[in-house]
């Protein structure tokens, strides 16, 4: 069967990637879709509980203080909700660091020609929402600090939507979505590190170099041990990670950044040590498989549960919240800003490169993914809590706006993508051609001279 959209075809964007890359991304997206449904359940439970006569018990549990008092680490004395945001999300960001490094080393981001489109799309998907929010809140000094709230895309929720309506979504679009989301996370990490750092204490950051260096040395020197002995990562690497996280907390840099830094320390490439451990993957992928269930099944849902619980107050309260310029800016930025930023930048880069979309992909598909990119949840909720003083009405209004904007983007994105499902089914049939003796579909085989 002849395939008109070979991987990495010249002057073509959103073409099908290699079989190995497609298989790896499919596995990641499958895990993320499960996490998205768990996240949705935790969010719904929080909202329902926070709007019942028993709401006081919810807020009491969220604001309960954790009894940790360690000299020199005063910031560890925090509430349960604060720990969910600053502590549990560090695991999520550790996995983000692993995924970022894999994309830069063995994924699509290693090649500038392949990376240019999703990287530019992610940048546009961050810049345009921020600009829309800033324009709407330009005259509101107390609200302008929330400009970064609508810049994030929640990959778990977005993939959950795709799992529901885009079963046959082409592999090229799945690759594009994941790569875009990974770059989006990297930009969000930089924003948090640069713009949401308060009372910086450099001495703690310098001390953090010690456990970080030890973590990096151990994961490279004893890679075989961490492959063969699962408990070793928990008993050796985890304490170093906790110490690094605590030092970041005291330094003033948001503690979740510690997870990203540690993720970048783990070796990615499959080498002799990996083979000695009987593994076909590098340590980064092995740790990702071990820690992802903890992140998707516990850490992120618990954060969402304690962060998403807001008292709406019925339609009257919803109307009041959405009349706040903060909420207006967030909803418009998520729904319109993400769509314009992602699809518009993709179009501009494509024109600049003198390239065309893959024959299997149309611009309505790109727009559908761009709309779905407006589902901003996990990182958006985190930034909302960092943007305004404790107890600010803007914080609650921002959370309601994140929910409304994300739900709107999910509905619109699902409608656009589901309308194309018949076309996607035909592409899926093309991609599922007979396998050769190596078990690799013909559409992924290289042509002579392509290596």
Q: Give percent of the chain with pLDDT exceeding 90.
A: 42
pLDDT over 60 at 407, yes or no: yes
Q: Which of 275-279, 403-407, 437-441 has the highest mean pLDDT?
A: 403-407
For residue 102, what pLDDT is reported?
Answer: 85
Question: Residue 442: pLDDT band by 50, 70, 90 thresholds?
Answer: very low
Write out pLDDT tens, residues 244-260: 999 999 998 888 899 99
Which range among 96-105, 268-277, 317-326, 428-437 shows the weakest confidence by mean pLDDT?
428-437
Q: Is 197 exposed, middle or buried (0-12, 13-18, 19+ CB in 10 A)?
A: middle
Q: What is the mean pLDDT of residues 398-409?
A: 94
pLDDT of residue 448: 40
Residue 18: the pLDDT is 57
Q: Is the pLDDT of residue 100 over 60?
A: yes
pLDDT in tens, 111-123: 777 788 888 999 9
Mean pLDDT of the chain: 83
Q: Read off the pLDDT band of 59 (50, 70, 90).
A: very high
Highest mean pLDDT among 160-169, 369-378, 424-433: 369-378
pLDDT band of 1, cuts 50, 70, 90: very low
Radius of gyration for the chain, computed over Cα atoms and rounded to the nearest angstrom:
22
Average pLDDT over residues 166-183: 77
Report pLDDT digits (tens) over 22-38.
666 666 666 667 778 88
């Amino acid at each position: 069967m002849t395939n008109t959209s070979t991987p990495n075809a010249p002057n073509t964007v959103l073409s099908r990637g290699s079989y190995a890359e497609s298989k790896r991304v499919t596995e990641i997206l499958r895990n993320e879709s499960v996490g998205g449904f768990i996240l949705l359940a935790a969010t719904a439970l929080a909202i329902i509980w926070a709007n019942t006569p028993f709401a006081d018990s919810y807020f009491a549990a969220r604001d309960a203080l954790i009894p940790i008092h360690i000299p020199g680490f005063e910031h560890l004395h925090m509430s349960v909700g604060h720990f969910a945001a600053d502590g549990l999300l560090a695991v999520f960001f550790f996995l983000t660091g692993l995924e970022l490094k894999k994309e830069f080393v063995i994924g699509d981001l290693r090649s500038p020609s392949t990376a240019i489109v999703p990287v530019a799309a992610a940048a546009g998907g961050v810049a345009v929402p921020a600009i829309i929010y800033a324009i709407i809140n330009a005259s509101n000094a107390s609200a302008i600090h929330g400009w970064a709230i609508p810049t994030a895309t929640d990959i778990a929720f977005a993939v959950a939507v795709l799992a529901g309506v885009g079963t046959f979504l082409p592999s090229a679009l799945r690759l594009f979505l994941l790569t875009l989301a990974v770059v989006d996370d990297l930009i969000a990490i930089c924003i948090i590190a640069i713009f949401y750092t308060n009372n910086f204490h450099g001495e703690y950051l310098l001390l953090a170099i010690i456990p970080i260096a030890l973590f990096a040395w151990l994961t490279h020197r004893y890679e075989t041990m961490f492959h063969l002995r699962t408990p070793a990562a928990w008993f050796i690497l985890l304490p170093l990670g906790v110490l690094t996280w605590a030092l970041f907390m005291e330094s003033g840099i948001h503690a979740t950044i510690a997870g990203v830094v540690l993720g970048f320390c783990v070796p990615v490439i499959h080498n002799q040590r990996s083979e000695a451990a009987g593994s076909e993957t590098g340590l980064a992928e092995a740790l990702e498989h071990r820690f992802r269930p903890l992140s998707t099944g516990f850490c992120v849902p618990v954060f969402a549960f304690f962060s998403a619980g807001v008292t709406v107050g019925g339609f009257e309260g919803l109307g009041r919240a959405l009349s706040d310029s903060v909420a207006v800016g967030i909803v418009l930025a998520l729904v319109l800003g993400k769509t314009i930023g992602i699809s518009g930048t993709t179009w501009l880069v494509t024109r600049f490169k003198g390239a065309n979309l893959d024959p299997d992909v149309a611009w309505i598909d790109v727009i559908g993914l761009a709309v779905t990119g407006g589902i901003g949840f996990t990182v958006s909720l985190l930034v909302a809590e960092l943007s305004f003083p404790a107890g600010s009405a803007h914080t609650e209004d921002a959370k309601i706006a994140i929910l409304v904007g994300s739900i709107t983007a999910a509905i619109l994105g699902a409608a656009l993508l589901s309308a194309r499902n018949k076309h996607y089914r035909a592409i899926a049939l093309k991609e599922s051609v007979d396998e050769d003796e190596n078990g690799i579909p013909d559409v992924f085989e290289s042509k002579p001279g392509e290596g």
